[in-house]
Amino acid sequence: MDEPNARSFSQGSIAVTIGRPWREVLPELLAARGLRRVLVLSSGRHDLGAELAAVLEGEGLAVARFAESAQHVPRALAERAAAAAADHRADALVALGGGSVIGLAKAVALLRARAGAPVPARIDLPTTYAGSEMTTIWGMGRPEPEPGKEVGRDELVRASAVIYDPALSSSLPARIAIPSLFNAMAHAVDALYGASRDEDALHQDAQAAITDLAGGILDLASEDAAVRDSARLRALHGSQRAGGILDRAGMSLHHKLAHVLGGGYGLDHAGTHATLLPHVVAFMAADAPRATQTLSAGLIAAGVMAAGGDPAAALFDLQVQVDAPRELLSLGFHPERATDNDSDSDSDSDSDNDLVGAAVEEIIRAKIDSPRALAGASEALRELVLDAWLGRRPGVPGRRRLLPAAEPGALGHAGLRPAVAGTPLDQARALVLCVHGRGSTAEAMLAKLEELLGGALPPGLAAVALQAWGRRWYPRSFTRPVADNQPELDAALAGLARMRRELGEQLSPAQVLLFGFSQGACLVLDHLAREGGAHGGAAAFAGALIGERPVDAWHDAARDPRAPVIVGIADADEWVPRARVAASADHLEAQGASVRRIWAAGSEHEITGEQGEALRERIAALLSTTSPTTNPTSSSQSS
C-alpha cells in the first residue's frame, strides 16, 4: 500500500519514487525500459535480496545475484561484481542495500565502461539514508598494492531510477540508521561550503533537507514504534534531497576529510561522516556565516536547537542524545601508526608516524573549494581531526589555547587544547582546574562541574579542563607498578604541573582548586603528594595515589597545612578499593593537608550528592575569600 505522502517525480534523468512498495514499482520500471536480464546486488546479510530476485523471476526475467559488499568498495570486489555482470550479460543492475552496495553498483558501471562494454541501467533500492544513489560520485579502492581510494564523478554511474520504500528500512537497527542520517546531513551541510554556496536555491533545499534529517534522527531514536514508522518516510525525503544537493552542488572540506580518514584507514563510512560533522561546522562557522545561518534554521525547525544556539554544539549534543558515533577513536583511528598489535606500545615520534599531519597535508594539497582558506590553517585542521578523534564537544564558550601544541606526532597530553569556561581569567576570583577520568574529555568534565554546581558556573568562577591523549592519562590500572604506566604517566603529571605554573601567572595559588574524578582523581592526588605547594584545595573523587603500594617513596612533597583536600569513594567501588583511598588520605594528612573523607554506600563509580555538596562548599569559600586577579599577563591568552 502506498504511503500517504507517496510521490513520483523526475530529478534530472533519474526517475524517483518515494513511498510506494518496491514490489509494484520495480517490475513496472524494468518492463517500461525493456530490461530483461537483471543482476541483483545486495549484501550477504540481506535476505531480501533473494526475495527480490524471486519476484523478478516470477515476472519472467533472467536474474542473477551478487550477494557481497564491503565499505569503500575494494577494487578486487568491484572487479568480481563486474565479471558477474558480464557473465550474465546484464542489461540492468538492481542495487538493494546501503551505501556500500550502491557504491559497488557504481563501480561495476564504471569498470564496464572502461572495458568498452555496454553499461547496464542502474536502479537503486536504498535501505539506508546516505543519499549516494542520487549522485554521480563514485569511490573505489586503488589497485593493489597501492593503498587508499579513488574518488571521482562520472555521469556513467548515475542511476536511471531510485525507489525509496520505507519498508526496506523498517528492520534497520538504530545503530545503522542514525549514522546514515548524519551522513546524509553532511551532504547538505558540506554543499553550503562548496562552489555553489552563494546560490539561494541551494540554501532553501539544504535547510529543508536538514530539517527532515534532524527530525528523522530524533524520531527514529524514539521508543514509540508509531513515531519511528512515520519517521522513515520523512527521513527518506531528507535523504533524497541531501543526495540531490550533493550531486549538483559538490563537496568541500567535510567529504574530503571523510574520504582521507575513512577510506585511507578503513573506518566505518557513516560513522566517520557523523563524527566529523560537528567539528567541520565549528571550523567553518566564522568564515561561512550564511551556511551557519541556514544550518541553524534547519536545526531550529526540527526542534533540536534553540534560537541563538551554536549549531556545532547542537549537532554534537544530538549525537549524544541518540547515541550516534562521535569519536574516531572508537572507530579505530589512531594519530600514530601502530608498530605492533599492542595498543599500549610506545610509538615513534617522527613525522612519518604522524597520521594526522599526513591527512592535513593531503587536505591542503587537494585545494578544496572552501570559504575558509585552508593553506594557512594546518594547525586548526590538525586540532579539528584530534577533537574528532577524541570526541570533544565543539563550541564550548571561551575555549582557548593556554599551552602550545606538541610537536607533530609527539606523545604527550600537553599538546592538546584545554577547555576553558566561566569568568575570564583576568576577572576571576577563583578557578577550578579539572582533570577528567579514563574515557572522557575535558568538555565532559566541564559539563560535570556545571552539573554539580547547579547547571552553570557562578559569577567570578573560571574553569580550565585538561585533555588526555587518547582519553586516558595512563594505560593500565593505578595499582600497577609505576613503570607499567610509563611514559604516559610522567607526561600527564608534567602537564598538570605545567598548567599549575601557567595559571600561577594568572591567579594566586590560593585561588586555584584542583578537581579530579577517577583516573583524574588519581592524577590529582599523586601530583599533590609529589609536588605539594600552596593551592586553594583539591577534590579528588573515586581515585587514590598511583603505584603498586598504597604509598611510595616519591609521595613525599613539601608540606602545606593550608591545603584542604576532599576525597570520596563508594564502599564497594569495583575500580578503586576504599582502603587505597583511605591510605592516600592518611598520607596527605601526614604531609600537613586537611583531609575530609566522604564515604558512600554501594558500588557506584560516581560523584555522590554529599561529595558534590562538599565541592560546592569549597568553591563558595574560595569565591568569598578572594578578590579578582589583576595580573596584566592574562590579556595575552588568545581565544
Q: Is the pLDDT of residue 589 over 60?
A: yes
Clarify whether residues 116 and 216 are in a common domain. no
Residue 257 within a domain: yes
Sequence-ordered list of residues with C-beta below 8 angstroms from that of 632, at least 6 positions apart, any chain? none
Q: Give whole-number Cα distances, 117 to 113, 302, 427, in Å.
A: 6, 47, 73
> pLDDT tier at 96 (50, 70, 90 boundaries)?
very high
Clarify whether residues 78 and 177 are in a common domain. no
Report pLDDT for 343: 40
CA distance 274 to 388: 10
Sign of CA dihedral 589, 591, 594, 595: negative
CA distance 94 to 459: 62
Residue 45 within a domain: yes
* Total-model pTM: 0.87
Report pLDDT for 311: 98
* Mean pLDDT of the region 206-214: 98
Say if residues 191 and 250 touch (Cβ distance below 8 Å).
yes
Question: Residue 421 pairs with which residues in a beta bridge?
Answer: 463
Report pLDDT for 396: 67
Clarify whether residues 155 and 179 are in a common domain. no
Residues 516-559: tens digit of each pLDDT: 999 999 999 999 998 887 789 999 999 999 999 988 877 776 56
Clarify whether residues 101 and 126 are in a common domain. yes
Alpha carbon dihedral 580, 583, 588, 593, in 10-degree steps, equals 110
Q: Is the pLDDT of residue 496 over 60?
A: yes
Clarify whether residues 234 and 262 are in a common domain. yes
Residue 177 within a domain: yes
Indicate which CATH number applies to the domain containing 539.
Answer: 3.40.50.1820
% pLDDT > 70, the chain: 90
- Tell me which of 84-93, 267-276, 328-337, 430-439 is least confident: 328-337
Report pLDDT for 561: 55
Question: Residue 245's closest CA among 297, 192, 282?
Answer: 192
Q: Give whole-number Cα distances, 547 to 436, 534, 553, 566, in Å.
A: 19, 24, 10, 20
What DSSP line would sit under 29-56, residue for residue? HHHHHT--EEEEEE-TT-THHHHHHHHH
Q: Distance from CA of residue 16 to its chain's centroid?
A: 32
Clarify whether residues 456 and 567 are in a common domain. yes
* Mean pLDDT of the region 331-341: 68
Residue 280 within a domain: yes
Report pLDDT for 553: 72
Residue 364 within a domain: no
Residue identified by cell 542473477 is 64
Half-sphere exposure of 574 (CA within 13 A, CB side): 2
Question: Residue 619's closest CA among 450, 486, 465, 485?
Answer: 450
Residue 383 within a domain: no
Strands lying side by side in the sheet with 538-541:
419-422, 461-466, 430-435, 512-517, 538-541, 564-570, 594-600
CA distance 127 to 46: 10
Clarify whether residues 153 and 219 are in a common domain. no
What kind and span of H or E run contains 232?
helix 225-249
Report pLDDT for 347: 39
Is the bond leading into 487 cis (omega within 30 degrees of zero)?
yes
- Tell me which of 148-157, 280-289, 333-342, 571-580 is least confident: 333-342
Cell of 520: 583524574
Clarify whether residues 223 and 135 are in a common domain. no
| Among 331, 346, 364, residue at a domain's last position | 331
Report pLDDT for 619: 97
Question: Residue 464's closest CA among 498, 491, 439, 489?
Answer: 498
Say if residues 613 and 621 touch (Cβ distance below 8 Å).
no
Report pLDDT for 2: 57
Cell of 441: 574529555
- Tell me which of 100-104, 141-145, 368-372, 538-542 is least confident: 141-145
Indicate which CATH number applies to the domain containing 191.
Answer: 1.20.1090.10
Clarify whether residues 55 and 134 are in a common domain. yes
Residue 154 within a domain: yes
Domain of 36, in residue numbers:
7-168
CA distance 143 to 150: 9
Say how many C-beta atoms besides its own lie within 10 A of residue 582's C-beta. Answer: 17
First-to-final CA distance of the chain: 57
Clarify whether residues 164 and 177 are in a common domain. no
Clarify whether residues 487 and 594 are in a common domain. yes
Cell of 249: 552542488
Say how many C-beta atoms besides its own lie within 10 A of residue 422's C-beta. Answer: 25
What kind and span of H or E run contains 610?
helix 609-625
| Among 314, 331, 348, residue at a domain's last position | 331
Indicate which CATH number applies to the domain containing 44.
Answer: 3.40.50.1970
% pLDDT > 90, the chain: 77
| Among 299, 331, 363, residue at a domain's last position | 331
Report pLDDT for 395: 82
Q: How many domains does the chain have?
A: 3
Report pLDDT for 352: 54
Q: Is the pLDDT of residue 348 over 50?
A: no
Q: Is the pLDDT of residue 138 over 60?
A: yes
Sequence-ordered list of residues with C-beta below 8 angstroms from that of 227, at least 6 positions apart, any chain? 219
Q: What is the 3-state secondary structure (H, E, C) of 131-180?
A: CHHHCCEEEEECCCCCCCEEEEECHHHCCCEEEECHHHHCCCCHHHHHHH
* Mean pLDDT of the region 39-57: 90
Say if residues 615 and 452 touch (Cβ distance below 8 Å).
yes
Report pLDDT for 626: 67
Cell of 91: 542489461
Clarify whether residues 452 and 533 are in a common domain. yes
SS3 content of the chain, % helix, strand, coil (to 5): 50, 15, 40
> pLDDT tier at 351 (50, 70, 90 boundaries)?
very low
Rg of the chain taking only CA atoms, in angstroms: 28
Write down the mean pLDDT value for the chain.
Answer: 90
Q: What angle do CA 389, 392, 393 make, to 5 degrees?
A: 140
Residues 383-425: tens digit of each pLDDT: 999 999 999 999 866 565 554 444 433 445 657 889 999 999 9
Residue 227 within a domain: yes
